[in-house]
Amino acid sequence: MPTSSDLAGFRVHLTAQRRSEDIDAALSRRGAEIFHCPSMVTTPVDDDEQLPGRTREIIAFAPQIVIVTTGIGLRGWLASAEAHGLRDELLARLGEARIIARGAKANGAIRAVGLEAEWTSPEETAEDVLRYLREGDLAGRRVAVQHHGMGTDGLEESLREAGAEPLGVVVYRYVVPADPEPVRRSVREAAEGGADAVIFTAAGGSIEWLRAADAVQLAALAERTRREELGLFAVGPVTARPLEEAGLRVHVPPRYRLGAMLRQVAAWGIERRGGDAVPTAPAGAVAEPETYGDAAPSGPTAEPETHEDDAP
């Protein structure tokens, strides 16, 4: 793979767990120094004892509308259902409902299991999904929501306000890492000048990173981001919000995708060093994934953003 040194010595702290190897490769090939400090980690589907019970509830609930927010979430849900002998029943229920896909990746996963989405959000946001559903009558409608990440995207609350009866399922969960020291080190070095950039891909990860900071460190972080001595990069506005509410300046790409954020990180790092930013993606960057938990520029929000796409 092509390499360069235009980011040589650029110190990047990565708070994400999912796709961290891809992010590391895309930036380190250009000379960046990556420090991994995941502020939240996911609980695998196989370890989630609550999921089979919620799946049975969804089957009994007989939803009239099903919202699929992420492809990886739907695949994980069906894998869990199969392991517990529930896949056929779940697929039958999904097939009876109007299926709404939050984006192209979700739609692809729907089609892969022989189902068809009534509508796919071109904006790939929770707000756009709600806007579409509100064009019809939601009063009394039973709506199942396959959430991304922590399930704090605001969909259930907004559906309830519109008169619907929502029931959500969280396919994977975020937990705080067993060892808090990497996150504490990240905050300390970011505040004291030992880091040039910090990358965030989910709102939960932003929140937990901030929890590791004391008042003095927060003040230092605010000053460093204001002076552009430190760059905080969030995959979308949902992920950025906790940081901004803490008084920190955050860079958010025009498109809420990992690839767009990596280009922004690289361009900022090169400009900060007095070089000329290249218009292409970082060497080794992969196809842009789903939005990491980020729901929308405004409206119901959590990311972790994910996308995110849908994970920290």
Rg (CA), the chain: 20
**Band of the pLDDT at 150, cuts 50, 70, 90?**
low
Phi and psi at 174, nearest 5°, equal -100, 135
Could you report how far apart the first and last alpha carbons of the chain are, in Å?
27
Place of tokens 């929770």: 126
Query: Is 292 within 8 Å of 235 (Cβ atoms)?
Result: yes
Beta bridge partners of 169: 146
Phi and psi at 185, nearest 5°, equal -65, -40
pLDDT one-digit tens code per residue, 181-207? 999 999 999 999 999 999 999 888 999
pLDDT one-digit tens code per residue, 112-136? 999 999 999 998 888 899 999 999 9
Cβ within 8 Å of residue 122, ≥6 positions away: 128
**Band of the pLDDT at 47, cuts 50, 70, 90?**
low
Instruction: Please state the rounded mean pLDDT for residues 4-21.
Output: 92
| Cα 173 off chain centre by | 12
Beta strands 41-43 and 65-68: pairing type?
unpaired
Least trusted range by pLDDT, from 58-67, 211-220, 286-295: 286-295
- The Cα-based distances of 158 to 7, 162, 241, 312 in angstroms read 43, 6, 19, 24
**Band of the pLDDT at 277, cuts 50, 70, 90?**
very low
Instruction: Please state the rounded mean pLDDT for residues 284-301.
Output: 36
User: What domains are defined for the chain?
Assistant: 11-42+178-272 (3.40.50.10090), 45-171 (3.40.50.10090)
Query: Is 287 within 8 Å of 259 (Cβ atoms)?
Result: yes
Mean pLDDT of the chain: 86
Helix axes 237-245, 203-211, angle to 10 degrees: 20
Three-class SS of the chain: CCCCCCCCCCEEEECCCCCHHHHHHHHHCCCCEEEECCCCEEECHHHCCCHHHHHHHHHHHCCCEEEECCHHHHHHHHHHHHHCCCHHHHHHHHHHCEEEECCHHHHHHHHHCCCCCCEECCCCCHHHHHHHHCCCCCCCCEEEEEECCCCCCCHHHHHHHCCCEEEEEECCEEECCCCCHHHHHHHHHHHHCCCCEEEECCHHHHHHHHHCCCHHHHHHHHHHHHCCCCEEEECCHHHHHHHHHCCCCCECCCCCCHHHHHHHHHHHHHHHCCCCCCCCCCCCCCCCCCCCCCCCCCCCCCCCCECCECCC
Amino acid found at 124: E
Cα separation, 2 vs 121, whole angstroms: 35
Phi and psi at 84, nearest 5°, equal -110, 15
